[in-house]
Amino acid sequence: MADRFLGDIYNVLAKHENGNLIFSPLSLHALLTMLNLGASGNTSSQINIPLRMSCDKNIAAEGYRQLIGLLLNIEEVKLKFVNKIFVSQTSVLKSSFESKMTFFFKSNTSLIDLTIPEKAAEEINRWYAEETENHITNLYKPSDIENAKILLANAIYFKGNWTNKFDPRNTRPYRFYVNGRKESVKNVPMMFINAEFQWGYIPDLKSGFIELPYGNQTNPAMKMTIILPNLGVDIRDVERNISKLATIKYHGSTSMVALRLPKFTIESEFDLKPILKEVTIKFGITDIFENTANFQDMTESSGLKVTKVVQKVVIEVNEEGSEATVASGMTMQSREASPDFIVNRPFLYFISMENLKWILFAGRVMDPTAV
């Protein structure tokens, strides 16, 4: 997934959201890639621009087929990446589009009666609830789908145990500088562990980083990367360079670290249509939201355009970890005091696989206790 796509969307979101946030760049990127399979002509060319895709749209979709295969075989974590097409009973999908969605995205199709939006919204929300272990509910209101013809749905569910487990007995109140200001200090539940991590410094971002792996000790499936701006560095200055994450130099090593990390739960819900509009207008892209949209590769009928793009994401970070790593975390004791990595001010976090190549979730924490 293109890093500049992450930067484009995240920077607009961050500009409109002052507090905590989480979103899934992978989910939005996947939805736009699906949409592109049904687009034609100038509309398809325009969708390629924010996706940063220079290849054929079928080749781009093939990347997701391979990714889904990888995700289905990840051990040690629970990870679901599922897709579905909800189609009005008055619309007919082109068989070529439906076949591509099945082949590339393992999607299936459900016919729903969108003339009764209350019932349709209930059915759609039930699917989201089932696929996300009831963490995402009531995503669509009946008013969201009035006059809708087709709904492309994507859901990602992730639950992972830390490779290095935090002991709940070590969690205690600790000062956190909300919004990075000394005058806004508050006590928050702060977890603690002394264990081996990959950590270090990112000069281009004037920030420290630490990687918390999930799953197997020898070959972690996924990781959370924490980026902690230096004291006095505005987190928004770091956010403006978020598109460079995969290319900038990380100066670090693996060693014992005394890590303090706050517990937090964040829930974000976005109407992404104005966000996408703000991003795409920069590139002169308007087709997908207007009557000029061309989705003739999707349905037998014409006149389709994008009217709603929503995303709701929930994340909970706590002490839970895999029992298999408790021994190594407890027995690898350093004779000298381990260096401290104290996350006591606003920070960014990313849950990814393959060294940030695929970022499932990205966000910021300004106040760990905010609901």
pLDDT tens per residue across span 86-121 = 888 878 888 998 999 999 999 888 888 878 889 988
CA distance 364 to 347: 6
Per-residue pLDDT, 160 = 82
Nearest alpha carbon to residue 124 among 90, 85, 89:
85
- DSSP code of residue 103: H
Per-residue pLDDT, 42 = 87
Per-residue pLDDT, 283 = 66
Per-residue pLDDT, 329 = 18
CA distance 340 to 24: 30
Per-residue pLDDT, 258 = 92
- The answer to whether the predicted template modeling score (pTM) of the entire model surpasses 0.75 is yes
Contact status, residue 157 vs residue 131, Cβ threshold 8 Å: yes
Which parts of 203-263 are beta strand (E)?
A: 207-214, 222-229, 251-262
- Positions in the chain whose pLDDT score sits under 70: 1-3, 54, 180-181, 216-220, 246-248, 283-285, 302, 321-338, 354-356, 371
CA distance 362 to 356: 11
Per-residue pLDDT, 26 = 86
Q: What is the pLDDT of residues 285-344, one digit of tens each?
A: 677 778 888 888 988 776 777 777 778 887 888 877 322 212 111 112 223 446 889 999
Contact status, residue 320 vs residue 66, Cβ threshold 8 Å: no
